[in-house]
């Protein structure tokens, strides 16, 4: 996935936050990560296809009910999730 415009990027960041809140993506960055290029799937975040032999990130985590969940993301979408998964701390003055 390539960056298209600021408004598309803002939507992607908002979607990542919403998906984290809904449990569709891990709420923090402590998920298990596998990287590869052997899967063909739709990206959980942007919904666009990830073609076989294209790089992807597979996240695996345990939800609040103890269930193992997975999500496959484009590398760019994984970066978006990482940024939104960081805890927000006040900046030092």
Total of domains in the chain? 1
Q: For residue 4, is it within any domain?
A: yes
Q: For residue 60, is it within any domain?
A: no
The per-residue pLDDT of the chain, averaged, comes to 86
Answer with the residue of higher pLDDT: 33 or 89. 33
Q: For residue 69, is it within any domain?
A: no
* Phi (first) and psi of residue 77, to 5 degrees: -65, -35
Q: For residue 61, is it within any domain?
A: no
Q: For residue 77, is it within any domain?
A: no
What's the angle, vertex CA 18, arms to CA 36 and CA 9, rounded to 5? 65
Q: What is the rounded CA–CA span in Å between residue 32 and residue 93?
A: 34
Per-residue pLDDT, 25: 94
Per-residue pLDDT, 87: 58
Q: For residue 64, is it within any domain?
A: no
* Residue recorded with tokens 């990027």: 9
Domain extent for 15: 1-32
Per-residue pLDDT, 3: 52
Q: For residue 39, what pLDDT band results from cuts at 50, 70 and 90?
A: confident
Q: Is the pLDDT of residue 90 over 60?
A: no
Q: For residue 5, is it within any domain?
A: yes
Answer with the residue of higher pLDDT: 1 or 26. 26
**Helix (H) or strand (E) segment spanning residue 18:** helix 6-22
Q: For residue 63, is it within any domain?
A: no
Residues 63-78: pLDDT tens digits?
888 899 999 999 999 9
Q: Which of 20, 36, 16 is nearest to 69 (CA)?
A: 20
Q: Is the pLDDT of residue 44 over 60?
A: yes
Q: What is the rounded CA–CA span in Å between residue 75 and residue 18?
A: 19
Task: Give the DSSP letter string of 50-85.
Answer: E-TTS-EEEEEEE-TTS-EEEEEE-HHHHHHHHHHH
């Amino acid at each position: 996935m390539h960056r298209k415009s600021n408004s598309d990027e803002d939507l992607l960041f908002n979607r990542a936050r919403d998906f984290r809140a809904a449990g569709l993506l891990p709420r923090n960055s402590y998920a298990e990560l596998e990287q590869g290029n052997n899967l063909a799937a739709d990206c959980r975040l942007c919904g666009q296809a990830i073609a076989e032999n294209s790089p992807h990130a597979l996240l695996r985590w345990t939800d609040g009910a103890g269930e193992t969940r997975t999500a496959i993301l484009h590398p760019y979408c994984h970066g978006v999730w990482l940024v939104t998964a960081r805890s927000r701390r006040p900046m030092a003055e």
